[in-house]
Amino acid sequence: MKFDTPATTNPIDQLKVVGKPTDRIDGPLKTTGMAPYAYERHDALENVAYGYVLGSAIAKGSIKATDVSRAKAAPGVLTVVTAQTAGKLGKGDFNTAKLLGGPDIQHYHQAVAVVVAETFEQARAAAALIKVDYERAKGTFDLASAKDGAPPAGKDNPDTAVGDFDKAFADAPVKLDETYLTPDHAHAMMEPHATIAAWKGDKLTVWTANQMVAWSRGDVAKTLGIPKDNVRLVSPYIGGGFGGKLFIRADVILAALGAKAAGRPVKIALQRPLMFNNTTHRPATIQRIRIGATQDGKITAIGHESWSGDLPGGGPETATQQTRLLYAGANRMMKMKLAVLDLPEGNAMRAPGEAPGLMALEVAIDELAEKLGVDPIELRVLNDTQVDPEKPGRPFSQRKLIECLRTGADKFGWAKRSARPGQVRAGRWLVGMGVAAAFRNNLVMKSAARVRLEKTGRIVVETDMTDIGTGSYTIIAQTAAEMMGVPLHQVTVKLGDSSFPVSAGSGGQWGANSSTAGVYAACVKLREAVATKLGLDPAIAEFSDGRVKLGNQSLPLAQAAADAPIVAEDAMEYGDLTKTHQQSTFGGHFVEVGVDAATCEIRIRRMLAVCAAGRILNPKAARSQVIGAMTMGAGAALMEELVVDKRIGFFVNHDLAGYEVPVHADIPHQEVIFLDETDPMSSPMKAKGVGELGICGVGAAVANAIYNATGVRVREYPVTLDKLLKDMPVVA
């Protein structure tokens, strides 16, 4: 089904099931331990062996020799696989060729061997017996040092320019020119990267924790050099991903290689330290922002330059992309530079680009507002735009940023904020409020589904869409129930299997809108088949209460499948909508903090997010997504930082004891408001993404609140008390 124009007669608009705050239908399975995650398949194959991955002890260099003899002789060991014995690995679409290192080493904890044994403990003990003789080479591990020689980010991320930024900035009566730093971040999801691999002849099945089934199935095949039809990838339940499971990682390939060598199914879960250095992370950035404005606050020049680093052949953290679209300004300049760093691979993490980009941009806007003596919300409102500032002929399909900010200001009590920093006290606490705009592009992807009407009247949906804890099972069931006119409990949803039609997958906050649109398309086709089978006009037949109705006729839905189940399959495609309209999501984040006047301890007191993200398919699940994202944003603002050892090149705090993330005590009252909005340009669901919008801008809102509380501006994240102490005024 091609979606080129807004839907007219749309069964989804009934909103009998869609749009209701619905409990997660997979919740009982998860709370009772019956949801089969990748490492613990309840229908597991018999005779499963255990793999343990050995990571490189150096960050850059080569392996001169590897002695696995003692490991092979250890109790319970079945096989040891290294680059020497694995054979050549192919290059997948997502940098998979180096998932097993040797002889060259690209980064610390790159996998160099996997030991397969009867038990996990035996595999772990044997891995410690492997002797690897390394030759260390000089590496580059410091972004600040590599920044000056960094080239442009490349043709996939070109610089953009509109007007004459240099002249407009030079002529502007009010100028801001500041540099902001964001550190490397870890996904730190609860479930590690984990896989069970089993061969049957030349066919491979992998049960793995993965967000994008079709992408990853193709990469497994390319990496192992086997036909894609010989690979089945299954990922029905995932314990968090945040982008870290968009691609296959070493656990998948090494489980497959280990299973082949051992002649038995093999399960591997990457140990927690390897989660930080072996897999991907959010890269650090250095961002310079220059803004020129008139005395009344109109932006005349806006320039954003960002530096980040990655392994050779990698890509940048696209921290300038929101600045291209968020505020008006006739003269614009955006540049990204990419340094080669010998650190673990940088790649997508929840809201790549916008999350760290807004941590800088929205502080810069706060600073500009202070220079102008203008309220930060009013400055944002003054510079709103309803068209793409780089392509003025392309309007936004929906843009309610101003409404988000106004609604949030009223609800949060923004009028009580002191414009002068450091003026509000609550006992020993200095209290401040901060605001930031939220922005995340709305991406749509082709998505397919297969829908079946059983003889019993039950609807079964099959698609390779995944659920990473976001509620995919539930919103897909809601969509099918709405379209086919049955109660939710009469819908069965099957996800995460490469034998099902290819969906959008979970990433880029495109999953909910795109996957449900694919189910919508398949249900339209099923409705046509059912109505035709019952002798009714498909164009005007009504599906409700488990029946198909037309005029005085009312027939049970199940009657159409009395002889045999009826199956329909279709996909949703989007034509050229992305060319004609800019599709984005918007919001406003409001934060109140307290800062101890003596110690500079920082405490978040309350948070509010107001989101404009199209139709909210399940407000209960969407709220959970947003408060989770707000929590991640608070962590990025106040505590999260992968600390780089710049001498030998690795992330020092590579476990959950040293890498701090927020706990319940760090996050008090959170509130989420969804504007009543539909976007008929986005899809027949009239929805957009929301899971990543919730993190975008949070870090800046926290930093701005800290400044409002103390009068100390910190431009290097995380904002920790040591960065406040040195500049804190003496407060009586």
Residues classed as catalytic: 692
- Look-up of token digits 């900035």: 169
Give the three-class secondary structure for 207.
Answer: strand
- Please name the residues in contact with 164: beta carbons below 8 A apart, sequence gap of 6 or more: 331
- Please name the residues in contact with 599: beta carbons below 8 A apart, sequence gap of 6 or more: 721
Contact, 448 vs 455, CB < 8 A? Answer: no
Closest-CA residue to 527 (of 548, 550, 504, 505): 548
The two three-digit tokens of residue 215, written as one number? 């992408």
3-state secondary structure 360-419: HHHHHHHHHHHHHCCCHHHHHHHCCCCEECCEEEEEECCCCHHHHHHHHHHHHCHHHCCC
- Please name the residues in contact with 268: beta carbons below 8 A apart, sequence gap of 6 or more: 50, 51, 52, 53, 114, 194, 195, 197, 251, 254, 255, 258
Give the three-class secondary structure for 300.
Answer: strand
| Phi, psi values for residue 696, rounded to 5° | -70, 115
The one-character DSSP state at 493 is: E
- What span, in angstroms and rounded, lies between the C-alpha atoms of 716 and 74? 49
Contact, 462 vs 501, CB < 8 A? Answer: yes
- Please name the residues in contact with 251: beta carbons below 8 A apart, sequence gap of 6 or more: 53, 192, 193, 194, 195, 208, 268, 269, 270
Closest-CA residue to 557 (of 474, 462, 455): 455
- Please name the residues in contact with 154: beta carbons below 8 A apart, sequence gap of 6 or more: 315, 316, 338
- What span, in angstroms and rounded, lies between the C-alpha atoms of 321 and 358? 10
The two three-digit tokens of residue 484, written as one number? 């086919």
- What span, in angstroms and rounded, lies between the C-alpha atoms of 633 and 640? 10
Helices (H), strands (E): how many in the chain?
18, 31
